[in-house]
Amino acid sequence: MSIRRLWSNPKTLGDVNMVTEELKSLYYRRLLPIEKYYSFHHFHSPSYEDADFDNKPMVLVMGQYSTGKTTFIRYLIEQDFPGSRVGPEPTTDCFTALMHGEAEETTPGNALTVDPKRPFRNLDTFGNSFLNRFQCVQLPNQLLESISIIDTPGILTAAKRRLSRGYDFPAVLRWFAERVDRIILLFDSNKLEFSDELTRAFGALFGFEEKLRVVLNKADAVDSQQLMRVYGALMWSLGKVFRTPEILRVYIGSFWSEPRQVCSHYRLIALEEEDLLADIRNLPRNAAVRKLNDLVKRARLVRAHAHIISHLKQEMPTIFCRRSKKHELIYQLPVIFTKIQQQHHIPAGDFPDCTKMQEKLLGQNFSKFKPLKPSLMASLDKLLSSDIAKVMPLLQQQELRKRSLPSVLDGELMGTFRPEHHRRDPFKEPPKDDGSGETDPDEWAVEKHRPKYDEIFHNLSPRQGKLSGAKVKEWMLSTLLPNSVLAHVWRLSDVDGDGMLDGEEFALAVHLIEAKLEGHWLPRELPPHLVPPSKRQSAGNSDA
Ligand SMILES: Nc1ncnc2c1ncn2[C@@H]1O[C@H](COP(=O)(O)OP(=O)(O)OP(=O)(O)O)[C@@H](O)[C@H]1O
Ligand SMILES: [Ca+2]
């Protein structure tokens, strides 16, 4: 049975749903009424909807312009996508949600906000100038079957930015940061800059640091000394911006499917890359925990918010001097925050950003605010103290059960679902020696360059007409292509899955590598015309 079948097994999906259904019901029953009562949505973030709980894990890719965001996504999904442009100047000016779909289809932002099945409904609060810069691209892609990816416009330096974006860019980022499972923040090793807009964008990530993975990209383009220097500078700058810089994980890499440049930290790059891919691979497994965490975080903010609003209400005079009192209260907000924290034993970390709250309060009519409603607050306390605790066993059961499942993306990032191939992958473990099978050439796309390929094959001294996985791997690595691409080539060319390549299979491998180096994307499955003639019967492809 394929890994894909295992994953979509209704029983395992049922477990996932049990936790999400419970979280959903807790949100609608306990939290949403309080959010509405204290106008939480005006101040902080729109309400959650079904789709926010049901959607697949999402990865948000962000960073300065030209740091390689779009290239990174292409590398992950191993294909190009409609509307993606890559280049040295700012190229992406849109938020693009990449999701799985049977047919390729692009949906503009305005249409997305009216689709209840998509998790983007309440993005309409950011206005038309944002919606015109937002789209969803659906693709048949195996990685996208398990996760969705959001490409974002590059963050500009002041010099590059002639026009303002026309929408609240940091607020949009925050909306996504709140809902995604992973935030990948890219930096370019060649030019590390911290622009104003970048620093402001970081503000959007406060409170979500644990979702953040920082990538120092294009690390093969600099020498080790410069890499050290850039790494140090990056850590220092991040430390100034984030309150908890020690939990930030910075990966050094060069995330594209092109050959790497030779450098003394080449091996480090390969290791770091595998770490990050493993992290992304685990997202579906951790999605329920993430949703639970975010719900708790939101509930705590709602509690602080309810106390703030009701306190302001209480302080307002009923008839006279309302205007001046309002301004006085706004001015004193930091003091009020401290007071509430002490009075109600609420940690300071649960409170919103004070300056932002002051700005938001300016436009509000305080006399319309609601007083503290004990029944609502009791319900909220119940949510935080006992309801959430009751979800934990469900979650643990689910975790236990899932541990016996193969990691859903195993091999997916590598381009295949066939576990028997995965096992023999020379990039994972060296295969055993074994030999059988003969060649029978026919009309074949690879045939015309056969002499050149055969020469390489014989120079690698095959045994009984075959090359072992280890030998092929060694040769392949000399192309400097990333391991994930080479693993993909290996799987396509070891047609009979015996962990070795015969002359034909090897020729096919070289052919695929050449195509890759010429800038083509590798096919997911081997098309019939590329199947070596001697393998056609056994593979069930008898057409030429
Ligand atoms: N790992 C890498 N090594 C070297 N060059 C790279 C790497 N990744 C991307 N590039 C190059 O960097 C440039 C910018 O890439 P890309 O357009 O993907 O960046 P981006 O962050 O999406 O940019 P924008 O913010 O403009 O959308 C391109 O010329 C691309 O070929
Ligand atoms: Ca881009």
Q: Which residues surround ligand 2, an ion (CB under 5 A)?
A: 69-70, 92
Which fold is adopted by the domain 55-290? Rossmann fold (3.40.50)
CA of 243 to the centre of ligand 2 (A): 28
Would the CB of 86 count as within 6 Å of ligand 1?
A: yes
240: enclosing H helix or E strand: helix 224-241
Mean pLDDT value across the chain:
82
Residue of higher predicted confidence among 189 and 204: 189
For domain 419-535, the question of CATH label 1.10.238.10 is answered with: yes
Residue of higher predicted confidence among 285 and 208: 208
Indicate which atom in ligand 1 lies nearest the CA of residue 253.
Answer: 1
In degrees rounded to 5, what are phi and psi of residue 60?
Answer: -100, 125
The CA radius of gyration of the chain, in Å to the nearest whole number, is: 27
pLDDT on residue 298 = 94
The whole-number average pLDDT for the span 199-217 is 88
pLDDT on residue 417 = 33
CA of 84 to the centre of ligand 2 (A): 7
pLDDT at 403 exceeding the cut of 70:
no
Indicate which atom in ligand 1 lies nearest the CA of residue 64.
Answer: 25
Residue of higher predicted confidence among 330 and 196: 330
Mutation probe of ligand 1 site: the residue of 81, 85, 86 with most atoms within 8 A of C-beta: 86
Indicate which atom in ligand 1 lies nearest the CA of residue 152.
Answer: 27
CA of 87 to the centre of ligand 1 (A): 6
333 CB burial (10 A radius; 0-12, 13-18, 19+): middle
Residue of higher predicted confidence among 338 and 202: 338
Q: Smallest Cα–Cα separation from 110: which of 93, 99, 126, 90?
A: 126
* pLDDT tier for residue 400 given thresholds of 50, 70 and 90: low
pLDDT at 220 exceeding the cut of 90:
yes
Residue with CA nearest ligand 1 atom 2: 218
In degrees rounded to 5, what are phi and psi of residue 158?
Answer: -55, -40
pLDDT at 542 exceeding the cut of 80:
no
* pLDDT tier for residue 106 given thresholds of 50, 70 and 90: very high
Question: Distance (Å, rounded) from C-alpha 439 to C-alpha 496?
Answer: 12
What distances in angstroms separate CA 345 from CA 49, 96, 337, 339, 477, one per listed residue?
30, 42, 11, 10, 59
Ligand number nearest to the C-alpha of 220: 1
Indicate which atom in ligand 1 lies nearest the CA of residue 65.
Answer: 25
Question: Distance (Å, rounded) from C-alpha 415 to C-alpha 366?
Answer: 57
pLDDT on residue 435 = 43
β pairing state of 500-502 and 466-468: antiparallel
* pLDDT tier for residue 357 given thresholds of 50, 70 and 90: very high
Lowest average pLDDT, out of 162-166, 190-194, 384-388, 514-518, goes to 162-166
Residue with CA nearest ligand 1 atom 16: 68
Lowest average pLDDT, out of 37-46, 210-219, 281-290, 484-493, goes to 281-290
pLDDT on residue 410 = 40
The whole-number average pLDDT for the span 174-200 is 89
* pLDDT tier for residue 524 given thresholds of 50, 70 and 90: confident
How does pLDDT run across 430-462, given as a tens digit for each residue?
334 444 444 344 578 888 888 989 999 999 999
Q: Smallest Cα–Cα separation from 330: which of 356, 303, 369, 348?
A: 356
β pairing state of 249-252 and 95-100: unpaired
Which fold is adopted by the domain 300-377? Topoisomerase; domain 3 (1.10.268)
pLDDT at 173 exceeding the cut of 70:
yes
Would the CB of 81 count as within 6 Å of ligand 1?
A: no
End-to-end CA distance of the chain: 29
pLDDT on residue 245 = 62
How does pLDDT run across 228-260, given as a tens digit for each residue?
999 999 988 888 888 776 678 899 999 998 888
Lowest average pLDDT, out of 239-248, 299-308, 376-385, 466-475, goes to 239-248
How does pLDDT run across 455-500, given as a tens digit for each residue?
999 999 999 999 988 889 888 888 888 888 888 889 889 988 888 8
- Boundaries of every domain in the chain: 55-290, 300-377, 419-535
Would the CB of 108 count as within 6 Å of ligand 1?
A: no
User: Tokens for 162?
Assistant: 């002639």
Ligand number nearest to the C-alpha of 91: 1
The whole-number average pLDDT for the span 195-222 is 88
